[in-house]
Amino acid sequence: IANRGEIACRVIKTCKKMGIQTVAVHSDVDSSAVHVKMADEAVCVGSAPTSKSYLNMDAIMDAIRVTGAQAVHPGYGFLSENKEFAKRLAAEGVAFIGPDTHAIQAMGDKIESKLIAKAAKVNTIPGFDGVVKTAEEAVKIAQQIGYPVMIKASAGGGGKGMRIAWNDEETREGFRFSSQEAASSFGDDRLLIEKYIDNPRHIEIQVLADKHGNALWLNERECSIQRRNQKVVEEAPRLVRRFWASQLFVSVKNPRQTRRRIEISQQNHADPYKSFGLPSIGRLSQYQEPLNLDKVRVDSGIQEGSDISIYYDPMISKLITYGATRAEALGRMEDALDNYVIRGVTHNIPLLREIITHPRFVSGHISTNFLPEVYPDGFKGHQLEADAKRELLASAAVLYIAAELRSAKVLSTQRVASTPVKSSHWELCVELGEERQDVQISKSGTVYTVEIDGAKVEVWGALNLASPLLPLTVNGTHRMLQCLSRDAAGGIVLQYLGTLFKVRVLSKLAAELNSYMPEKASEDTSSILRSPMPGTVVAVSVKPGDTVAEGQEICVIEAMKMQNSLTAVKQAKVTGNVTVTPITRLQ
């Protein structure tokens, strides 16, 4: 299997069912990856960068010879649409489980496929049908086509090597980033330019054929919900047996992007990726897939303890649910997201849950501009209405009391208190952001009644503080909450309706005394440029003594095969030494 992650695991699972032995190839940083453990044999084919491992044809061919493999499954991406790889396999009598070289040349190369489509009189997007060789040539072609234009990798896919340009400067920048990303992801930096369609729907139809003349089409898939030209949600409305299926791509992201991304376009074209997350890395300290739910499937290539690396795609898994109706499939998706436990990295579950419950999505009024249109100022999590806010505050207060009651016991026996303790009524103060609410709680049996601002909220359920999932019933409605952390100062981080909320619960006395505590001063970061994600520096655009303008590029960071330009937040002068250079790793 010449791939990694969830697709490699899926192929290995199928091979096991068929009684076929498998060989995994891997980079040095993937030596403990799940697909490596699942395979019968494993061969390291190079170091972490894809060009030195998963795109390293010589090393992969050597692995084939050493292990005596009779066939290669390329998965998707990497070498899956590389005709040279298919030719080399054929020359050594090794089966390539994929299209033949003619089909790869015709369909895997966007320039070639557009020429074939035009010859067949199929409508295509206007653009330049050849290879764009330089940034200045790209500008001339873009001017001839008319802005906006899309710059994309000819050998690309999955949103890699794609940039939208609204003017000459963005075309030059897009050419640079797209060619570098294409080379990194596909080993092929050829680019094409075509007219950018500003508000389309993205519909796919898969066609499957073999060399014996059999062919079938696998129905349509709605893929319009996208971030950075990468599909986030897919729907297959008419599958076999009339099931509806919804698929989400769960990936890691960096929350700091919300706070630091700035607009650099002088024409006010908003950054379409703002606040929807850039990659983050880390170790999955806790990981639990919602496979206990009915009609839920998860395709993943990771497990608890896995490391998410800067070198590869940030996708954690594909979450699939299905049902007899669209509403049923989406309802299961909502439950599955609430039951999905991911700790150690920041992920996109809050955004995914908001998308599938948004009225525009539910009604089907969507396009590829869904995210920037629905969240023009960036995604800021679920916005709580009054009833939902009371539910959250009540749940946090109940969790605090449950922890207090547990700490008052030793081996299920009540401790001897030095002062009388009221065990059925409490007065607390709950803080959410800048808001502070006085709360009264009473307990009768297993039911907590919480009074907030004159309204009563009843909460009961399994308050197992050792479990990552907290199934509660709040005012008769079932809610699945997750408690990510609790501290001695009353801080509680709860995942509620998909979004993380930082709540602080204090006793009434502690709240009164806390008002005398000095506030921590915020760090002055106006003269500091911080990377929004871990990655590798691929270019540095300034030197000591340079005066930079607001919005000017300082350096370029590459992470998970995507490149991002870091820009100055204000006009300033570069002082001291520039200590980063290309290949510098940022943690």
**Gap between the Cα atoms of 151 and 138, Å rounded:** 9
Q: By the 8 A CB rule, do 170 and 265 touch?
A: yes
- Give, in degrees to the nearest 5, the angle at Cα 361 between 359 and 367: 130
**Gap between the Cα atoms of 226 and 223, Å rounded:** 7
479 labelled catalytic: no
Cα 138 to the chain's mean position, in Å? 31
Reduced to 3 DSSP states, what percent helix, strand and coil does the chain have, rounded to the nearest 5? 25, 30, 40
**Gap between the Cα atoms of 91 and 403, Å rounded:** 67
**Gap between the Cα atoms of 22 and 16, Å rounded:** 8
- Give, in degrees to the nearest 5, the angle at Cα 563 between 559 and 566: 100
Catalytic residue among 65, 238, 259, 406: 259
Beta-strand ranges (E) seen in 487-546 are 491-496, 499-507, 535-540
Cα 252 to the chain's mean position, in Å? 4
CB within 8 Å of 135: residues ≥ 6 apart: 171, 172, 175, 176
Measured CA distances, 110 to 106, 120, 512, 561, 580 (Å): 8, 15, 66, 20, 37
Catalytic positions are: 259
